């Protein structure tokens, strides 16, 4: 479907016109929050950027989101059948590759980097501290929290990467146990 006639709405949500529905939703939530609250970036220009103008911006954001949602519903249905929103991978090949891998910290790192996701973003969404994520990736087992917590972190991280949380966590914890047995 051509998205040309929707260009304006994508612009309002500050997205490229090939954005996916989850991306549209993210942008909507983010912008909505930005213009409806007094965030740090807004305070210095609060008296210039009046409430009234912000209302107008909010209205446009709302309109853009509603419109895009209506128009792209079909695409959305196809997208959701493909996997988790947000980081739905561009091609299926990635999934196959992932299946065969064993989930060492390094593999997790590679998968993340391949998808162009920064550790900070993982931290933002999973609420796991960057340092911990980094230690997970580098398998600095001695710096990591106890097994039960670690397992939770790893499966959250795996879920974020659209991997099977249980499989990844089991695999990872086995490596952790092997290390522990050695020390």
Partner 1 sequence: MEKSRAEKEGKIWAIGGGKGGTGKTFVTSAMGTYLAGKGKRVVLIDVDIGGANLHSFLGIDRPKKSLTDFFETGASLNKLAVKTGVDNMFLITGDIHSLASDSIKFTQKLKLFRHIMKLNKHYVIIDLGDGSHNNTIDTFLMADKRIVILEPEITSVENMYHFIKNALFRKLRMSLREYGFKEIVEQMWEKRQEYKIKSLRELMDCIRDSFSYVGDIIDKELSDFKLYLILNKIRSSDDILIGSSMKSIFKKYLCVDTRFVGFVEYDDSVWRSVRERRPFMLNYSLSRSAKEVEVFTENLLKGKEIKLSRN
CB proximity list for 61: less than 8 A, separation 6 or greater: 12, 13, 28, 31, 32, 35
Q: Is residue 91 a contact residue for partner 1 (CB under 8 A)?
A: no
Q: Which is nearer to partner 1, 67 or 175 (CB)?
A: 67
In whole angstroms, the minimum distance from the beta carbon of 149 to partner 1 comes to 19
- Residue listed under structure tokens 């920064």: 118
Q: Which of 7, 8, 49, 83 binds partner 1 (CB under 8 A)?
A: 49
Using the rule CB under 8 A, is 40 a contact of partner 1? Answer: yes
Residue 89 or 104 with smaller CB distance to partner 1: 89
CA angle 5, 9, 12 (to 5 degrees): 145
Provide the CB-side half-sphere exposure for 16 (13 A, CA): 3
Q: Report the residue from 6, 34, 79, 173 that binds partner 1 according to the rule CB under 8 A.
A: 34
- Residue 130 touching partner 1 (CB under 8 A): yes
Q: Tell me the C-alpha distance between 20 and 11, whole Å.
A: 14
Least distance in angstroms from the C-beta of 88 to partner 1: 10
Q: Please list, in sequence order, all residues whose beta carbon lies within 8 angstroms of the beta carbon of residue 75, skipping any fewer than 6 positions away.
A: 1, 20, 21
* Residue 46: CB minimum distance to partner 1, A: 11
Residue in this structure with the two tokens 């146990």, named with its chain if needed? 177
C-alpha angle with apex 132: 127 to 136, nearest 5 degrees? 115
Determine if 18 is a binding residue for partner 1 (CB under 8 A).
Answer: no
Residue 55 binds partner 1 (CB under 8 A): no
Q: Does 86 bind partner 1 (CB under 8 A)?
A: yes
Q: What residue ranges bind partner 1 (CB under 8 A)?
A: 14-15, 23, 26-27, 30-31, 34-35, 39-45, 47-49, 53, 57, 86-87, 115-118, 120-121, 123-125, 130, 134
């Amino acid at each position: 479907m051509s998205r040309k006639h929707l260009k304006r709405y994508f612009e309002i949500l500050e997205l490229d016109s090939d954005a996916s529905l989850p991306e549209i939703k993210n942008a909507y939530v983010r912008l909505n929050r930005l213009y409806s609250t007094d965030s740090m970036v807004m305070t210095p220009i609060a008296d210039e950027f009046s409430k009234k103008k912000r209302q107008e911006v909010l209205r446009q954001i709302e309109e853009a989101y509603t419109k895009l949602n209506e128009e792209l519903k079909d695409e959305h249905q196809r997208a959701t059948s493909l996997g988790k929103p947000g980081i739905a991978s561009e091609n299926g090949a990635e999934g196959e590759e992932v299946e065969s891998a064993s989930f060492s910290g390094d593999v997790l790192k590679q998968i993340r980097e391949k998808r162009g996701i920064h550790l900070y973003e993982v931290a933002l969404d999973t609420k796991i501290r960057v340092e911990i994520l980094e230690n997970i990736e580098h398998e600095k087992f001695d710096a990591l929290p106890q097994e039960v917590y670690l397992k939770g972190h790893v499966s959250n991280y795996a879920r974020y990467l659209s991997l099977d949380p249980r499989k990844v966590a089991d695999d990872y914890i086995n490596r952790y146990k092997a290390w522990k047995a050695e020390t």
